[in-house]
């Protein structure tokens, strides 16, 4: 009975489908999706290690920066030479790149010649390789009747791992494939080529780019599909590159934009990461290679090794009696007798089995039909594993790109080149299908490259020239916002001269230097209950401040914010002040205080002249207000009249205060050294405490200053009061043309479209109300010049006001990468790429930096004047600051501090950010007015 079972078992095996026998023999090569996901995760970890500067030295996947920062956009043009070196033959090409014009699409025309490389050169001296390349290049130029005396730009595709210091500099890390030339490892490749060109007579060539074949493939396909951000090579060797965010590339300074990274993924597994997937046949291939222990992933994937893997498997199966009745031919035992071309032929749809029989017969074997089926299946498993491994590694790259862009679905194109992908009848479909299973949330389009490595190298050079030209033009336009130290010193000097003129009124001054009749600072003894009224850019705040001696100003604070409609901002005086009175009445009603007659301070952030602390005659509107029949009228009186028209509550308005004064007073309640107020928000202004003896414009005749005993007027005469706060209204600096040398064409455009043309010059250069509009004007100009948004001037970009202070602050945030900036711009309806986003960020930085430095120059004039007035060699002083631009912008405050320090080196200035300072300060001025 046992004998029957044994006979039955062997009979079953003899009748077994030959493909199942191969499946069982090669079960370790058949990878399921869970294993591929595992491999993908391992490769992602290796990518991170390679990108990190600290871990890169021990990483096997080197993630080499290429210094290629952009893909083609269709505007590239020029004629280039290209060299393509990577195998036993190399190409010399003339590439003519034409930009798109009107209906004519961008195009590339190529002429090429192929030159064989002898084995002696491949394994000889490195100098011999490049001497041969240089001589062949000269031969090409002569045959194409190209001018040898003209300097020709040349792009060099060099398909070996290089460490790039620049786009045209690269140190060879190691040879691969069939190259073994001596003396070049660790040397600069472009310099070696240049030296060879110099040794060749009558040849004038400038090497402008050195690229890997995968990078060149990505660039070549990116010329036809701007969504192509990945390059893939599956041929004699294998590799991939992709566009990585600069902030993740640890070995290249800077974090803006993207750069192409050459993964050099052929070395994946050299550290043992793939040991549990490596078979005995892979180890045999590795041991017999010219670089044992290196490029293990490449040896499992590439066409150079697929045929040898098939040969080793078939040889072992034959020796163990699984094939050919155990017979082995000498040819089957010889290295290299089965190639990747044989593997592809065996898998042809219609002729695969016939091709397999022919190949085996040529090897001196006599295969049966089952043998042919089995060997064909071996080829299928080897090539299928290759495509599976490529899909796993590629899915890791896609996952990283998707995470970088922070999108739920990723649409991207992959440029592909290489004989395996191009010639194998089933490889591409298998790769696409497996990749879709591994990362279904990515929609991937594969673009097969045509002359990819050579054409792509020329496109790298073309893109480089385009970017360099654009860079020069952009830098030239943005340089108008860059102020030298001498220019800032001149602004400081002009501000100081206008301050002196404004204090004396001996001559006209654009800086008004308005007395505020605020003659003291809080000392902590203030107490009582007061209203504070704070009119802002488009809002009106009503505050109830309960002060207790020695307690923090924020204790006992109640407030409500009301909007000011644009119709009211541009209406009549009655409409504005009736609206304010209505808001005050509503607040008092909610607080149950309508029957109380509370003293109030009014923070009014517009230029006005005072003859007393409770009187202010409007000089002009700013910040977008344009209320009729107000100029020359007392704002306190207009508010009192509006309250009287309601007749449902009474209000004792004790003081009118500018927002800068309120900010200074608020911060002075916390720091007795605070004697300056600074507003950098919708508007720009400074106030400070000036010696009364220097204020020649105080009216000692009119108003309460002369009428009421103990008022500032009497104290001015007696000398009892030593200081008074001056509202500089520095926002008008330059209205007399004194800043014309730093005014740009964009500032002029903004001024022309403003409500007060020719006025508030400094404010229009520095305040949040105008900076966004300056940025828009710059972007509009760059777009019209074809330097931004692909030259498309949209209606949205032509719309005033689309940029505001918050948006500028957000765009310039260190935490906001270029990709996120792109999302912000797209939300504004601006169709842009990452290059555009980087330029927009630069424009915002240039405009805001100029603003901060100008504010620093003006503030330096104020602090230096205080120091000199006091006769001090050094001054320690604090500045109370308020305003959205100062508080929200990520870099404004730092640049302001730095500029002030450089321009006023003898002054130590402490900046105190204020919280709701203008309103609280108005209450404090009211306290001082009533208690003193």
pLDDT for 581-628, tens place per residue? Answer: 999 999 998 888 888 888 888 888 888 888 888 888 888 887 778 888
177 belongs to the catalytic site = yes
Beta bridge partners of 686: 678
- Choice among 49, 91, 138, 177 that is catalytic: 177
From residue 5, alpha-carbon distances to 2, 21, 168, 760 in Å are 5, 20, 73, 105
pTM of the model: 0.70
Residue among 858, 860, 513, 518 at smallest CA distance from 662: 518
The confidence band for 705, taking pLDDT boundaries of 50, 70 and 90, is very low
Q: Please, which residues have CB within 8 angstroms of residue 551's CB and are 6 or more apart in sequence?
A: none
Write out pLDDT tens, residues 827-860.
Answer: 777 777 777 888 888 999 999 999 999 999 999 9
3-state secondary structure of 348: coil
Place of tokens 């993740």: 248
Reading the block at residue 361, the tokens are: 């017969």
Task: Give the CA angle between residues 361, 340, 47 to the nearest 5°.
Answer: 155
Please give the backbone phi and psi of residue 17, each rounded to the nearest 5 degrees, phi first.
-55, 130
Place of tokens 């269709």: 74
pLDDT above 90 (res 445): yes
What's the confidence (pLDDT) of residue 701? Answer: 32
Reading the block at residue 552, the tokens are: 């923090």
Contact indicator for 300, 383 with CB cutoff of 8 Å: no
d(CA 859, CA 864): 9
Q: What is the DSSP string of 635-676?
A: HHHHHHHHHHHH-S---EEEEEE-HHHHHHHHHHTT-TTEEE
Place of tokens 């004047």: 865
Residue among 625, 630, 576 at smallest CA distance from 605: 625
- Choice among 73, 84, 131, 213 that is catalytic: 213
pLDDT above 70 (res 116): yes
d(CA 420, CA 405): 31
d(CA 206, CA 211): 15
pLDDT above 50 (res 80): yes
What's the confidence (pLDDT) of residue 366? Answer: 94
Q: Determine the average pLDDT of the residues in 896-912.
A: 96
What's the confidence (pLDDT) of residue 16? Answer: 65
Q: Determine the average pLDDT of the residues in 516-535.
A: 84
How buried is residue 813: exposed, middle or buried, by Cβ count under 10 Å (0-12/13-18/19+)? Answer: middle
Mean pLDDT over each residue of the chain, to the nearest integer: 87
What's the confidence (pLDDT) of residue 8? Answer: 45
213 belongs to the catalytic site = yes
d(CA 764, CA 754): 9
Contact indicator for 635, 691 with CB cutoff of 8 Å: no
pLDDT above 50 (res 341): yes
Please give the backbone phi and psi of residue 156, each rounded to the nearest 5 degrees, phi first.
-120, 110
Reading the block at residue 556, the tokens are: 């006992």
Contact indicator for 389, 803 with CB cutoff of 8 Å: no
3-state SS track over 152-217: EEEEEEECCCEEEEECCEEEECCCCCCCCCECCCCCEHHHHHHHHHHHCCCCCEEEEEEECHHHHH
Reading the block at residue 23, the tokens are: 């499946």
Q: Determine the average pLDDT of the residues in 432-436.
A: 97
From residue 575, alpha-carbon distances to 558, 565, 607 in Å are 26, 11, 20
Write out pLDDT tens, residues 236-263.
Answer: 889 999 999 988 999 888 777 789 999 9
d(CA 764, CA 758): 10
From residue 511, alpha-carbon distances to 143, 177, 546, 885, 892 in Å are 74, 75, 36, 22, 23
Please give the backbone phi and psi of residue 714, each rounded to the nearest 5 degrees, phi first.
-65, -40
């Amino acid at each position: 009975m046992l004998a029957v079972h044994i006979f039955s078992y062997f009979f079953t095996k003899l009748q077994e489908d030959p493909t199942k026998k191969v499946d069982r023999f090669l079960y370790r090569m058949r990878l399921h999706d869970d294993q591929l996901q595992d491999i993908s995760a391992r490769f992602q970890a290796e990518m991170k290690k390679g990108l990190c500067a600290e871990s890169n030295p021990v990483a096997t996947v080197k993630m080499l920066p290429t210094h290629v920062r952009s893909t083609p956009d269709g505007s590239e043009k020029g004629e280039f030479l290209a060299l393509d070196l990577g195998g036993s033959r190399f190409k010399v090409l003339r590439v003519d790149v034409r930009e798109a014009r009107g209906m004519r699409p961008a195009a590339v025309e190529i002429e090429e010649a192929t030159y064989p490389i002898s084995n002696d050169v491949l394994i000889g001296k490195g100098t011999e390789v490049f001497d041969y390349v240089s001589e062949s290049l000269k031969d090409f130029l002569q045959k194409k009747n190209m001018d040898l005396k003209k300097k020709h730009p040349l792009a060099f595709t060099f398909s070996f791992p290089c460490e790039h210091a620049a786009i045209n500099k690269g140190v060879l890390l190691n040879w691969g494939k069939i190259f073994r030339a001596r003396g070049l490892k660790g040397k600069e490749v472009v310099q070696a080529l240049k030296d060879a060109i110099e040794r060749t007579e009558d040849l004038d060539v400038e090497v402008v780019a050195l690229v890997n074949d995968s990078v060149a493939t990505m660039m070549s396909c990116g010329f036809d599909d701007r969504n192509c951000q990945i390059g893939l090579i599956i041929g004699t060797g294998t590799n991939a590159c992709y566009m990585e965010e600069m902030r993740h590339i640890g070995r290249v300074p800077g974090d803006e934009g993207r750069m192409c990274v050459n993964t050099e993924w052929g070395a994946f597994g050299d550290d043992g990461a793939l040991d549990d997937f490596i078979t005995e046949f892979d180890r045999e291939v590795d041991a017999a290679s010219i670089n044992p222990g290196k490029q293990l992933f490449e040896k499992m994937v590439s066409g150079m090794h697929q045929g040898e893997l098939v040969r080793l498997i078939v040889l072992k199966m034959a020796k163990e009696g699984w094939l050919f009745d155990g017979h082995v031919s000498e040819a089957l035992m010889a290295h290299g007798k089965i190639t990747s071309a044989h593997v592809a032929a065996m898998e042809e749809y219609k002729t695969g089995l016939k091709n397999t029989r022919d190949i085996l017969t040529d090897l001196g074997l006599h295969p049966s039909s089952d043998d042919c089926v089995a060997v064909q299946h071996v080829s299928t498993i080897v090539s299928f594993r290759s495509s599976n491994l490529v899909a796993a590694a590629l899915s890791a790259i896609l996952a990283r790109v998707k995470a970088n862009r922070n999108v739920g679905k990723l649409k991207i194109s992959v440029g592909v080149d290489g004989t395996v992908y191009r010639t194998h009848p089933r490889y591409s479909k298998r790769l696409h299908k497996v990749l879709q299973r591994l990362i279904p949330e990515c929609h991937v389009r594969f673009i097969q490259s045509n002359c990819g490595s050579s054409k792509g190298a020329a496109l790298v050079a073309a893109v480089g020239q385009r970017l360099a030209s654009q860079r020069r033009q952009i830098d030239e336009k943005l340089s108008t916002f860059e102020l030298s130290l001498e220019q800032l010193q001149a602004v400081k000097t002009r501000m100081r001269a206008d301050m002196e003129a404004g204090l004396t009124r001996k001559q006209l001054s654009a800086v008004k230097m308005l007395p505020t009749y605020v003659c003291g600072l809080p000392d902590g003894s203030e107490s009582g209950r007061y209203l504070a009224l704070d009119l802002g850019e488009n809002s009106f705040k009503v505050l109830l401040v309960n002060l207790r001696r020695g307690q923090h100003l924020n204790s006992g604070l109640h407030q409500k914010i009301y909007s000011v409609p644009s119709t009211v901002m541009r209406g009549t005086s009655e409409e504005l002040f009736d609206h304010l009175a209505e808001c005050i009445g509503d607040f008092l009603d909610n607080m149950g205080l309508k029957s109380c007659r509370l003293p109030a301070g009014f923070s009014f952030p517009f230029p006005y002249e005072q003859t007393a602390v409770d009187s202010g005659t409007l000089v002009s509107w700013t910040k977008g207000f344009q209320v009729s029949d107000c100029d020359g009228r007392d704002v306190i009186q207009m508010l009192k009249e509006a309250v009287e028209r309601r007749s449902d509550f009474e209000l004792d308005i004790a003081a009118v205060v500018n927002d800068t004064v309120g900010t200074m007073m608020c911060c002075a309640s916390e720091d007795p050294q605070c004697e300056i107020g600074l507003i950098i928000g919708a508007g720009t202004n400074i106030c400070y405490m000036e010696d009364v003896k220097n204020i020649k414009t105080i009216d000692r005749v009119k108003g309460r200053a002369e009428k009421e005993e103990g008022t500032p007027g009497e104290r001015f005469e007696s000398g009892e009061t030593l200081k008074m706060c001056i509202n500089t209204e520095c926002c008008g600096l330059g209205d007399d043309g004194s800043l014309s040398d730093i005014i740009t064409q964009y500032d002029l455009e903004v001024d022309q479209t403003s409500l007060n043309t020719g006025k508030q010059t400094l404010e229009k250069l520095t305040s949040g109300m105008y900076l966004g509009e300056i940025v828009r004007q710059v972007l509009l100009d760059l777009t019209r010049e074809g330097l931004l948004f692909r030259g498309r001037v949209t209606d949205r970009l032509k719309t005033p006001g689309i940029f505001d202070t918050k948006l500028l602050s957000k765009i310039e945030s260190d935490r906001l990468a270029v990709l996120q900036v792109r999302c912000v711009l797209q939300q504004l309806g601006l169709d842009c790429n990452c290059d555009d986003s980087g330029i927009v960020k630069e424009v915002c930085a240039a405009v805001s930096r100029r603003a901060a430095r100008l504010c620093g120059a003006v503030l330096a004039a104020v602090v230096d004047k205080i120091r000199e007035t006091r006769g001090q060699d050094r001054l320690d002083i604090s500045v109370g600051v308020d305003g959205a631009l100062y508080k929200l912008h990520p870099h404004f405050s730092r640049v302001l501090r730095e500029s002030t320090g450089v321009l006023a080196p003898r002054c130590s200035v402490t900046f105190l950010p204020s919280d709701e300072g203008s309103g609280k300060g108005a209450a404090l001025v009211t306290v001082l007015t009533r208690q003193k």
